[in-house]
């Protein structure tokens, strides 16, 4: 680096100190610190948030003194609290209640490295709580539990350190190795008398008469799928039907001979529809590849990210299995050695993964609410009641709510693959994706589930469903009053309502996420709000009031520059109460009686 690239005089930190003066003498030898000066003013390099000037949080080598720290932290706290109060645009529960019970553990290290069912020589772990959480979800999702290593039908799972992105990645990794004929964990675990593994192959071999594509899985997912799936197939180098179709069979797109292959499976009604996968089109695409002997990997959405849509999992799964059965891919032999017809295992030639990031967290309770007559419609079945379902993931920070990303991955013991390498060092099999795994998340999820009964969760699920209905009604009324098409829509049973993107100030105020869709030949930028547990009718009313101002949808100026709330504790401001708000109050009361809080 040349000195022309260095700017040691750049004002740095809360006191605008020239950068080279921020060092103690101890760290400066010959007048030159042994670290690199900035090449450019970092304050102008990054996009700032107006509430927290970057200067206040910059980290000089000396650290911050007590006053500087207090000022910086207060700014950040105020920003976080305000945005928490208005947070309406993502499927994430934003107000939490853990600190009174769990702050102790911020000074404890909990690391669940390795398999959750093996306690490991790394004793600072929360695997005992992790197993309780996993058993809870195994029961909720109708898997066979408890987990037993010697029972292939029992569930196996682990708690994720990332959210469903990791669950999708792990699910697809498992699927890829399973379908491409790698070694099952149960075979690798089988030992002969001398303690050596009886099966040592690493890659199945094609036998005389098998399709040349027998171990070349092809992935299918819909156009409404989360970007983590696209990323997962890239990372894992899994071919999608689009890649294989457009390279090997460019003129044979079965959805329209002579037209280009779509990149993803179309949803019903395309971008204008509700967002659920088009099972008929999926069937046509799957048949094309199954008939050529490719194993089939399907990922279905249970609560799609933008429209909150539920794929018809039962219909899609049955359709895939039936098509696969026609081509010998429902159950097939995976041969372990060339020329030995007797050395094989039986596995399915398809894999169905469920991305239930949000939906898997609350739909079971919604179904119970339906059974109790509290809501009008039941959500579609998505879980291990369906024999075709191979793996499932859910995010912990979405429905339940957590201060960071976390989640659950679940599959069946008999579907597990042998880990790439033994892991004697940690004293537990390396069956998960990460090395070190977040042990605090297990504690958080355990805490939440210990404090919320099924009854509590059923009431919350029913209330959020009603709240989404309320937001939908209010926005439809607004649309009518304004006489403008605001594209207001809610997919069946979704917790989200989508509408035309408003002014940038409102997008920011409510953290509304946007998505541009091509609908009827027109580019439309939508936003959505999510009726999560923390959302109130008051906040929906406030949003609708903000959206009513001239300039909210057109033009650059808002008539009444919607003020950002400076403090969370101003929540009790004179916001006129909607008459319907009493229903929510009743709910709070009933929870208070039951000894639990509504949102905690």
Q: Which of 203, 164, 395, 412 is nearest to 299 (CA)?
A: 164
The region of 20-28, 284-292, 342-350, 353-361 touching ligand PLP under the rule CB under 6 A is 353-361
The verdict on 120 binding ligand PLP (CB under 6 A) reads no
Q: Of 157 and 407, which has the nearer Cβ to ligand PLP? A: 407
Q: Of 163 and 379, which has the nearer Cβ to ligand PLP? A: 163
Distance separating alpha carbons of residues 47 and 367, to the nearest angstrom = 44
Distance separating alpha carbons of residues 139 and 128, to the nearest angstrom = 17
Q: Report, in Å, the least distance between residue 530 CB and ligand PLP.
A: 10
The verdict on 226 binding ligand PLP (CB under 6 A) reads yes
- CA distances to 13, 164, 260, 266, 539 from 358, rounded to whole Å, are 40, 9, 33, 22, 22
Residue 146: DSSP 8-state: S
Distance separating alpha carbons of residues 599 and 87, to the nearest angstrom = 14
The verdict on 353 binding ligand PLP (CB under 6 A) reads no
List CB contacts of 279: < 8 A, sequence separation 6 or more: 312, 315, 316, 319
The verdict on 506 binding ligand PLP (CB under 6 A) reads no
The verdict on 405 binding ligand PLP (CB under 6 A) reads yes
Q: Of 13 and 171, which has the nearer Cβ to ligand PLP? A: 171
User: What secondary structure does DSSP assign to 398-415, as a single string?
Assistant: TTT--SS--EEEEEEGGG
The region of 158-166, 364-372, 558-566, 575-583 touching ligand PLP under the rule CB under 6 A is 158-166
The verdict on 355 binding ligand PLP (CB under 6 A) reads yes
The verdict on 305 binding ligand PLP (CB under 6 A) reads yes
The verdict on 112 binding ligand PLP (CB under 6 A) reads no
Residue of 111, 161, 165, 271 that binds ligand PLP (CB under 6 A): 165
The verdict on 304 binding ligand PLP (CB under 6 A) reads yes
Distance separating alpha carbons of residues 427 and 420, to the nearest angstrom = 16
Residue of 89, 116, 157, 163 that binds ligand PLP (CB under 6 A): 163
350 sits in which H/E element? strand 350-355
Q: According to DSSP H, which parts of 191-290 are helical?
A: 227-235, 241-248, 279-290
Residue of 162, 244, 313, 532 that binds ligand PLP (CB under 6 A): 162
Burial class (CB in 10 A: 0-12, 13-18, 19+), 562: buried
Q: Of 14 and 379, which has the nearer Cβ to ligand PLP? A: 379
The verdict on 228 binding ligand PLP (CB under 6 A) reads yes
- 8 A C-beta contact, residue 495 and residue 532: yes
Q: Of 266 and 407, which has the nearer Cβ to ligand PLP? A: 407
Q: Of 177 and 311, which has the nearer Cβ to ligand PLP? A: 311
Site for ligand PLP in 81-100 (CB under 6 A): 91
CB neighbours of residue 29 within 10 Å = 9
The verdict on 360 binding ligand PLP (CB under 6 A) reads no
584 sits in which H/E element? helix 581-594
Q: Of 358 and 458, which has the nearer Cβ to ligand PLP? A: 358
- CA distances to 279, 352, 362, 382, 524 from 444, rounded to whole Å, are 37, 29, 17, 25, 39
The region of 135-143, 269-277, 302-310, 497-505 touching ligand PLP under the rule CB under 6 A is 302-310
Q: Report, in Å, the least distance between residue 294 CB and ligand PLP.
A: 25
Q: Report, in Å, the least distance between residue 443 CB and ligand PLP.
A: 18
The verdict on 301 binding ligand PLP (CB under 6 A) reads yes
In this structure, is the dihedral angle defined by the CA atoms of residues 177, 183, 188 and 194, taken in order, positive or negative? negative
- 8 A C-beta contact, residue 277 and residue 196: no
Q: Which of 517, 521, 510, 512 is nearest to 487 (CA)?
A: 517
Q: Which of 384, 451, 455, 378 is nearest to 137 (CA)?
A: 384
Q: Which of 34, 38, 36 is nearest to 55 (CA)?
A: 38
Q: Report, in Å, the least distance between residue 58 CB and ligand PLP.
A: 29
Written as six digits, the tokens of 180 are 């491409």
Residue of 88, 358, 540, 598 that binds ligand PLP (CB under 6 A): 358
Q: Of 226 and 565, which has the nearer Cβ to ligand PLP? A: 226
Q: Of 167 and 245, which has the nearer Cβ to ligand PLP? A: 167
Q: Report, in Å, the least distance between residue 342 CB and ligand PLP.
A: 42
- Map residue 319 onto helix, strand or coil: helix
Q: Report, in Å, the least distance between residue 351 CB and ligand PLP.
A: 17
The verdict on 496 binding ligand PLP (CB under 6 A) reads no
Place of tokens 């008999």: 414
Q: Which residue is nearest to ligand PLP (CB)?
A: 163
Site for ligand PLP in 54-73 (CB under 6 A): none
Q: Report, in Å, the least distance between residue 327 CB and ligand PLP.
A: 30
- Segments of 358-444 assigned E as strands: 389-395, 407-412
The verdict on 267 binding ligand PLP (CB under 6 A) reads no
Return residues touching ligand PLP (CB under 6 A). 91, 162-165, 226, 228, 301, 303-305, 355, 357-358, 395, 405, 407
């Amino acid at each position: 680096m040349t000195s022309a690239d260095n700017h040691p005089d750049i004002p740095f930190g809360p006191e605008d100190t020239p950068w080279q003066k921020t060092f103690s003498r101890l760290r400066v030898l010959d007048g030159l610190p042994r670290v690199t000066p900035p090449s450019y003013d970092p304050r102008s390099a990054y996009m700032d948030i107006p509430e927290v000037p970057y200067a206040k949080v910059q980290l000089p080598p000396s650290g911050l003194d007590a006053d500087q720290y207090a000022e910086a932290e207060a700014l950040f706290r105020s920003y976080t609290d305000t945005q928490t109060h208005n947070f309406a645009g993502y499927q994430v529960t934003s107000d939490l209640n853990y600190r009174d019970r769990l702050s102790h553990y911020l000074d404890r290290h909990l690391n669940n490295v390795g398999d959750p069912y093996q306690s490991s020589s790394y004793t600072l772990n929360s695997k005992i709580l992790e197993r309780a959480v996993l058993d809870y979800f195994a029961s909720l999702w109708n898997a066979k539990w408890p987990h037993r290593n010697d029972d292939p039908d029992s569930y196996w799972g682990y708690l994720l350190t990332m959210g469903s992105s990791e669950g999708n990645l792990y699910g697809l990794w498992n699927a890829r190795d399973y379908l491409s004929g790698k070694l099952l964990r149960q075979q690798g675990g089988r030992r002969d008398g001398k303690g050596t593994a009886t099966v040592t192959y690493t890659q199945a071999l094609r036998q005389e008469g098998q399709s040349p594509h027998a171990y070349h899985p092809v992935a299918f997912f819909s156009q409404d799928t989360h970007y983590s799936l696209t990323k997962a197939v890239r990372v894992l180098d899994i071919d999608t039907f689009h890649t294989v179709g457009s390279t090997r069979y460019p003129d044979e797109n079965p959805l329209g001979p002579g037209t280009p292959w779509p990149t993803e499976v179309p949803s019903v009604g395309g971008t204008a529809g509700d967002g659920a996968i088009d099972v008929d089109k999926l069937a046509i695409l799957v048949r094309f590849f199954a008939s050529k002997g490719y194993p089939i990997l399907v990922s279905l959405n249970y609560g799609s990210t933008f429209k909150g849509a539920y794929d018809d999992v039962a219909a899609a799964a049955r359709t895939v299995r039936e098509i696969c059965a026609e081509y010998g891919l429902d159950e097939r032999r995976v041969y372990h050695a060339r020329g030995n017809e007797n050395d094989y295992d039986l596995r399915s030639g398809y894999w169905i993964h469920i991305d239930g990031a949000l939906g898997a967290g609350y739909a079971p309770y919604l179904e119970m609410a339906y059974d109790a007559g509290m809501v009008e419609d039941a959500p579609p079945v998505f879980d291990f009641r369906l024999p075709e379902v191979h793996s499932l993931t859910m995010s912990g920070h979405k429905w339940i709510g957590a201060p960071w990303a976390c989640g659950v991955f679940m599959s069946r013991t008999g579907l597990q693959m042998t880990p790439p390498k033994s892991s004697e060092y940690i004293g537990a099999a390396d069956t998960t994706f990460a090395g070190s795994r977040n042990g605090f998340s297990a504690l958080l999820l355990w805490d939440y589930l210990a404090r919320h009964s099924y009854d509590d969760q059923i009431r919350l699920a029913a209330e959020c469903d009603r709240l989404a209905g309320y937001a939908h009604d209010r926005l439809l009324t607004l649309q009518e009053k304004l006489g403008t098409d605001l594209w207001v829509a809610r997919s069946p049973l979704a917790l989200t309502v989508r509408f035309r993107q408003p002014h940038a100030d409102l997008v920011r105020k409510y953290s509304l996420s946007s998505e541009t869709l091509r609908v009827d030949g027109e580019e439309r930028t939508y936003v959505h709000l999510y009726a999560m547990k923390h959302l109130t009718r008051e906040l929906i009313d406030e949003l609708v009031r903000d959206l009513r101002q001239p300039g909210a949808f057109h033009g650059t100026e808002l008539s009444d520059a919607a003020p950002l709330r400076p403090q969370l504790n101003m929540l009790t401001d004179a916001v006129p109460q909607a008459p319907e708000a009493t229903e929510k109050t009743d709910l709070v009361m009933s929870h208070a009686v039951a000894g639990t809080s509504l949102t905690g």
